Each structure stands twice: as structure tokens, then as C-alpha cells.
Amino acid sequence: MTTPVESQTPSYRFDDRTIQWRELGDFKHFVVSIFSVDEAKNIADFIVKFEPNQQIFLHRHLALTNTFVVDGEHIIYETNGKVREVRPVGRYTSSPAGDAHREGGGAHGCVLQYSVRGETDALFDVLDDDLQVLATLRTSDFKAAFDAQKQA
């Protein structure tokens, strides 16, 4: 019988204290820091910090979205609020444009890196509970937020 081997690599929590977190418009339950935006290629790279146990607004991704869970758990919810998927720290996911959902952080929140690659400038639709489009977030919206972030 063998004894389990303990890892010799210490575990660390991601330290985000030096990141310039900012709200994105009037959206609740998360903050964002934008790394780069290429308007000509419709690319936005950013990191999001979700509050613990909170769901963000109902939305639909309109572009290829690659994510990497840096810290905590990334939770994807159905439109009715039921948990669809829990993504642990270290999980990389590449998702094409898709269906409506909410997302958020687990019990300890979540830090999630996004790399969004649009075929057009429309990256996300913000939806109401009837799945009607309230607004479309475009590459230019991320560029404006990025420019404002640089001014701070």
C-alpha cells in the first residue's frame, strides 16, 4: 500500500491588489481591467473580477471568447439562474458565439481572463429577462473604457 505524496509546490492565491480595477458602465457585481483593444481586428483582451456568489447581467457572446480562470471558480448560469457549469481555477475554455446566460464567481469570487475575437465590432448583447436586446457592447465600448483606464 502506498501513501499519498504531498505536493512540494506551495499553493498561492492570485494577488490582484496592483490591478487597476474599474466598473464597466452601470453593470453590477464585477470590475474589469482592460489589457488591450484592437478596433481594426475586433479584439479585446481583459480581466474581470466577479464578486462572490453573484450573477452578472443576462447576456450573449457574439464573438469567439477564450477564457482562463485565474482565481476562484467561474460559474455559468442558465437564463433561469440554474447553474449550468462550474469552471475551476486553471480551466481554459474557448467558446464560439453562443446562447444567453449569466455568469459570476463562486464562494470566493473569481478572476477570469478574457480574450474576445469578433468577426464584427459587436462582441456581446445585453439582454432583458425576455431575451430582448437592451444594448450591444462593441469593440469601441471596450476601447473607450481602455482609454479612460489609461487616464486614471
Q: Where are the domains of the chain?
A: 36-145
Cα separation, 81 vs 55, in Å, equals: 8
Per-residue tens of pLDDT for the chain, all 152 residues: 444 545 455 556 789 889 999 999 899 999 999 999 999 999 999 999 999 999 999 999 999 999 999 999 999 999 999 999 999 999 999 999 989 999 999 999 999 999 999 999 999 999 999 999 999 999 999 999 999 998 87
Pairing of strands 92-95, 83-87: unpaired
What's residue 87's pLDDT? 96
Q: pTM of the entire structure? A: 0.88
CATH level 2 (architecture), domain 36-145: Sandwich (2.60)
Between the alpha carbon of residue 131 and those of residues 12, 74, 99, 141, the distances in Å are 40, 22, 10, 21
What's residue 2's pLDDT? 47
Nearest to 42 by CA among 115, 103, 146, 99: 115
